Amino acid sequence: MTNNEAYEALNLLVRLREKGRLGFVIAKNIRILRGEISEYISLRDKFIQEAGTRKGDAYVIENPENIQKFMDLISEYDSISFEFTPQTIDEETFCSGGLTSDQMYALDWMVKE
Distance between CA atoms of 84 and 4, rounded to whole angstroms?
Answer: 13
pTM flag (> 0.75): yes
The tens digit of pLDDT for each residue in 70-99 reads 999 999 999 999 999 999 999 999 999 899
* Number of domain units in the chain: 1
Provide the Cα torsion 29, 46, 44, 38; round to 10°: -20
Q: Is 32 exposed, middle or buried (0-12, 13-18, 19+ CB in 10 A)?
A: middle
The tens digit of pLDDT for each residue in 38-68 reads 999 999 999 999 999 999 999 999 999 999 9
Range of the domain at 32: 3-110
Nearest to residue 30, comparing CAs of 15, 48, 46?
15
